[in-house]
Amino acid sequence: MSIFNRFSLDGRVALVTGGGRGLGFEMARALAEAGAHVVLTGRTAETLDKAIAAIAKAGGKAQAAAFDVADIDAGRAVVADIRKMHGRLDILVNNVGARDRRPLAAFDDREILDLIRTDLLSAISLSRDAAEIMKERGHGRLIAVTSIIGDMAMPGDAVYPVAKQGMTGLVRSLAVEYGAFGVTSNAIAPGMFATETNAALSENPDMIAFARRRVPLERWGRPEEIAGAALFLASDTASFVNGHVLTVDGGMSVRM
């Protein structure tokens, strides 16, 4: 088989959380272009509809599942619905991540738990349910979107790195637990990307200058530049990649 054919996802079903915009949309679009039927999740039906229309215009197949990943029961129901509708779930991309840039002393316990529920607990629950479906078929791809901030730190950003480091631990645990069943588990750790959420930061002259100093490529990442990493990890070309964190940051995390 040609190496190019090993990138094909024809006949496979993928679930991408937060797939309506930003990095989630770019990863979903890449999976759809490779042949997967992609289920996009998000809290806003209108945003999801626009994303599905864009994927369909390019010849891809997608559907929406509008819910908040912090609602664990709703997430479990979506996975069950995918199984009932398609009889399979081959790829899960846990992409959603809420961020609240404040010092730890500024959080109360409820706010901490809310962020952990959205950023980590939801991924644990979805991964568990998806992996069991994949296990039955003897094949699957679990992909988590972490962050380079999970291995770094900065003032006034206390809880988000905790959740992202937890995601790294989850990925590695799943790699060991489900590898024998043909299910791989890996992560993508993005750096500075100029998404809609980061629009104000990425257009700020000080932050543009910061990127030039700290990122060897001397710029912010473009959202579409995350797509190749997701497609690689989801495809058969990554069949022996398991428990790995693929950093996509233009070299920022290795620069002194």
User: At residue 248, what is the residue type?
Assistant: V
Cβ-in-10-Å burial (0-12, 13-18, 19+) of 4 comes to exposed
For the chain, give the DSSP string: --TTGGG--TT-EEEETTTTSHHHHHHHHHHHHTT-EEEEEES-HHHHHHHHHHHHHTT-EEEEEE--TT-HHHHHHHHHHHHHHHS---EEEE---------GGG--HHHHHHHHIIIIIHHHHHHHHHHHHHHHHT-EEEEEE--GGGS---TT--HHHHHHHHHHHHHHHHHHHHGGGTEEEEEEEE--B--STTHHHHT-HHHHHHHHHH-TT-SPBPGGGGHHHHHHHHSGGGTT--S-EEEESTTGGG--
Catalytic site includes residue 160 = yes
Query: Which listed residue (160, 178, 193, 220) is catalytic?
Result: 160
40 and 67 in contact (C-beta within 8 Å)? no
User: Distance (Å, rounded) from C-alpha 163 to C-alpha 187?
Assistant: 14
Active site residues: 160
